[in-house]
Amino acid sequence: MSQVTFEVLTLFPEIIEAYVSESILGRALQRRIIDVITFNIRDFSSTSYRQVDDYPYGGGAGMVMMAEPIFRAVDFIKEDGKDRYVILLGPGGRTFNQDIAREFAERHGRILLISGRYEGIDDRVRRIVDEELSIGDYVLTGGELPSLVIIDAVSRLLPGVLGDDESSREESFSGRVLEYPQFTRPREYRGLTVPEVLLSGDHARIRRWRRKEALRRTISRRPDLIERANLSEEDKILLKEIKEEKEDESHKGN
């Protein structure tokens, strides 16, 4: 039995199916840790030529997705009587992030994602969803990519999906800190060398270096994350060291 089932309402089920069949998600499907079920919205149209869009009342550019096919699809899916969390992908919702991914992984065993297209969706659809989610302030062609982003991010947090469950805890945004720098062979390439500490075999030093560099990278690239991070006493010491090092470099530059 899968730990989380994702149901996706879309006009292009092949986009969803192609992505989730590969790599980490593909293996999670094979192991039945997750399940991904697609529903083609056109199958729920009441017209003979499977119409799902129409001109907007009041005029305006483009076409709008009709409410009826989506309502009928959701009614059909809910006939099994199972509890599910219904999400509409759109710009008006809260912005999806790692905390929400973790919330979904821990709380929802079945998630229904409604992927829109065209210039918008009949606003009445919002009456049958639990919430609207956005993946960022930009315009996309449709809701398939946001759906895949949510499926991917949530799945990675489920036990057994990653080869090493420790990986999901160490990745960027876990604990609201970016990931530390990573290196592999060769030790030197085009004059660029791997930090000596990573070759030392001293696991305590390596762990401390990685945490310090993760904090340094976060301060440099995403200082907003540090303000909300869960910092340990060691983190505070490392941050003080980073600040002092930065001040020393500044003095040397002068």
Q: Is residue 170 part of a domain?
A: no
Mean pLDDT, range 63-92, rounded to an integer: 96
Longest alpha-carbon distance in the chain:
76
Whether residues 86 and 10 share a domain: the answer is yes
Which residue did the predictor score with more confidence, 207 or 172?
207
To 10 degrees, what angle do helices 203-221 and 233-253 make?
70
Q: What is the pLDDT of residue 252?
A: 79
Mean pLDDT, range 37-59, rounded to an integer: 95
Closest CA to 24 of 164, 139, 221, 173: 164
Mean pLDDT, range 54-78, rounded to an integer: 95
Whether residues 185 and 218 share a domain: the answer is yes
Residue 215 sits in a domain of what CATH number?
Answer: 1.10.1270.20
Q: What would the pLDDT profile of 88-123 be if each residue is shown by its tens digit?
A: 999 889 999 999 999 999 999 999 999 998 788 999
Q: What is the pLDDT of residue 69?
A: 97
pLDDT band, residue 61 (cuts 50/70/90): confident
Determine the Cα–Cα distance for residues 8 and 104; give it in Å rounded to an integer: 15
Q: What would the pLDDT profile of 9-47 be if each residue is shown by its tens digit?
A: 999 999 999 999 999 999 999 999 999 999 999 999 999
Tokens (6 digits) for 85: 């969390």
Residue 145 sits in a domain of what CATH number?
Answer: 3.40.1280.10
> Regarding beta strands 53-54 and 85-95, do their DSSP bridges make them parallel or antiparallel, or are they unpaired?
unpaired
Q: What is the pLDDT of residue 1?
A: 54
Q: Is 80 exceeded by the pLDDT of residue 174?
A: no
Range of 135's domain? 4-165
Q: Is 90 exceeded by the pLDDT of residue 6?
A: yes
C-alpha distances in Å from residue 63, one per residue of 87, 137, 204: 22, 21, 59
Residues 6+ apart with CB under 8 A from 217: 178, 179, 180, 181
* Mean pLDDT, all residues of the chain: 93
Mean pLDDT, range 189-217, rounded to an integer: 96
Q: What is the pTM of this model?
A: 0.87
Determine the Cα–Cα distance for residues 83 and 69; give it in Å rounded to an integer: 21
Last-in-domain residue among 165, 187, 202? 165
Q: What is the pLDDT of residue 92?
A: 86
Q: Is 60 exceeded by the pLDDT of residue 166?
A: no
CB 234, CB 241: distance < 8 Å = no
Whether residues 209 and 120 share a domain: the answer is no
Q: What is the pLDDT of residue 54?
A: 96
Mean pLDDT, range 215-231, rounded to an integer: 92
Q: How many domains does the chain have?
A: 2
Share of the chain above pLDDT 90, in %: 84
